[in-house]
Structure 1
């Protein structure tokens, strides 16, 4: 019961609210993090995430897998996700600020999708993108629905591809940056589908602009899982170089920056994380 009353949940927990994919507070994607949440009643996690009403709330737990440094459970206001990108970086940042971090090796996060490696690089954090669980061309009926919902035509689209690494993303590569920024989705038309938009940009250090339209009817400010899926698609197909920078959140007044780097078989998705709120969460009666 995700919307159950919280009043019978007792206890105090360390709490962080962090901003992910930005070095400037309030310009990235916020994440609520409950630390040392093993005592947090499982049936209340979804209720708390619903009350926070952020795109995701994460709970840090002791790992089950001995190879992991910590375990995370990730909730939207309406359900649990096996993996998500900005909660991965934000959770790792919160964990690092609350413990003695390991030296000389990657950090290993355990989540519903398995083990995810995270590394520190030039003041940023980066995760190794998980493998795609669904790829290939988007079905014609699905694509037709998306074109109607976004108000685009075949002439606007270079390619469409499933880029699902857990949350269920598909992506459209558009021709025009102007068209991409002008999109005003009919969320009722695309309900239940997570749609990502990517378009080349030639502006300073930015190579691509990304937009993310959730299945729940809102635009996500900056999206690690979508960028990871897009990167695997674009780099493998030769559309993007092995390292590039993507911008996301422009239409929402955000300044999200995602750093993409291929290293061997891995594609790393990186960004800055800053802590905006730090304190204690009390759910005592």
Structure 2
């Protein structure tokens, strides 16, 4: 069997930045074990497999794998796959008016709007399939400090305290008082997994950013998915809308800001997080970002 694949760099407009993604096309003949093996071979934070949709009115069905496990939802595979499919299947429509790509993921149907922006870079935006939900368990600051090689005094800023949120995948969110602390942080092999529990990772963030136009600078250390640090984490960004709402209490209306991630890894990434607040409650969350294709090839099985 020979399958086509592409790799893209996601949440960036230039190659060799952002978060790399492998997209395997025409994957209907593959079973779960083979998909997992291929994802382990690519050894990227995620590999996405494109299948025929269950409902023919939709564009495609996606299955998303890390090197160790399948995920029901992830942001950078959604953005990258939507941009690739729009480019391959409707290039003229994309150039003229943009394209809506409807993706069936394990979490549910996700509709992505794909457009060329003013600079001709391609951007995709989707509404998160679930609103952020606060987790039942959040490690205390002392435990997080030990697990991340920091002092407890470096955890927290303003009204921000450690929290857990999920918009389909749960993360522990750790606010840090400075970018120096963010740059110095790293998971302690002896304690990190135990402190994280079932969370997919620790999402560290600070309001001290590299780019003046960013609102937050972040790092994500993964837990139990076969990678170490992730250059850009769209599912965590979707959940971060819950963090922003809990600790910033934004007014009713539409809000949008940029999260920068991956700078410490030499893979700068920019995630556009949007939210809508109605009557003091979070009513909708969107995630947007660019992607650029890097290579195409054949996968022989």
- Whether the TM-score (by the shorter chain) exceeds 0.5 is yes
Residue 40 of structure 1 corresponds to which residue in structure 2? 30
Aligned to 1:279: 297
1:201 aligned counterpart, secondary structure: coil
| Aligned pair partner of 1:270 in 283, 288, 291 | 288
Which residue matches 1:247? 260
The whole-number CA distance in structure 1 between the counterparts of 2:234 and 2:132 is 16
2:149 is the alignment partner of 1:151: yes
Distance 2:14 2:154 in 1: 33
Contact in 2 for aligned 1:132/1:163 (Cα 8 Å): no
| 1:201–1:129 CA distance, 2 compared to 1 (3 A) | farther
Shift of 1:173: 1.6
8 A contact 1:137–1:161 mirrored in 2: no
Q: Which region of structure 1 is more displaced relative to structure 2, 213-222 or 243-252?
A: 213-222
Question: Superposed, which structure 2 residues align to 1:180-219 within 5 Å?
Answer: 180-191=182-193, 193=196, 194-201=201-208, 203-216=211-224, 218-219=228-229
Q: How many residues align?
A: 272
Q: Which moved more, 1:247-256 or 1:41-50?
A: 41-50
Distance change >3 Å, CA 42–CA 185, structure 1 → 2: closer
The normalised TM-score by structure 2 is 0.82
Is the contact made by 2:131 and 2:285 (CA closer than 8 Å) also made in structure 1? Answer: no
Measure the CA separation in 2 of the matches of 1:42 and 1:140.
33
In structure 2, runs of 5+ residues without a counterpart are 278-282
Q: Which residue of 1 aligns with 2:138?
A: 139
Residue 200 of structure 1: CA displacement?
Answer: 0.7
Q: Are the structure 2 counterparts of residues 188 and 71 from structure 1 closer, same or farther at C-alpha, using a change threshold of 3 Å?
A: farther
Residue of structure 1 in register with 2:14 after alignment: 24
Corresponding residue for 2:102? 108
Residue correspondence of structure 1 range 166-181 to structure 2 within 5 A: 166-181=168-183
Change (3 A) 1:97 1:281: farther
CA distance in 2, matches of 1:238, 1:19: 31
User: TM-score, normalised to structure 1's length?
Assistant: 0.86
- Structure 1 distance, partners of 2:207, 2:112, is 27
Query: SS at 1:246's partner residue?
Result: strand
Instruction: Find the counterpart in structure 2 of residue 91 from structure 1.
Output: 81
Matches within 5 A, 1:222-261: 222-238=232-248, 242-261=255-274
1: distance between equivalents of 2:42 and 2:82? Answer: 20
Q: Deviations over 1:58-90 (max 9, x none)?
A: 100111145532110001111111011111111
CA RMSD of aligned residues (A): 2.4
Deviates more, 1:100-109 or 1:247-256: 100-109
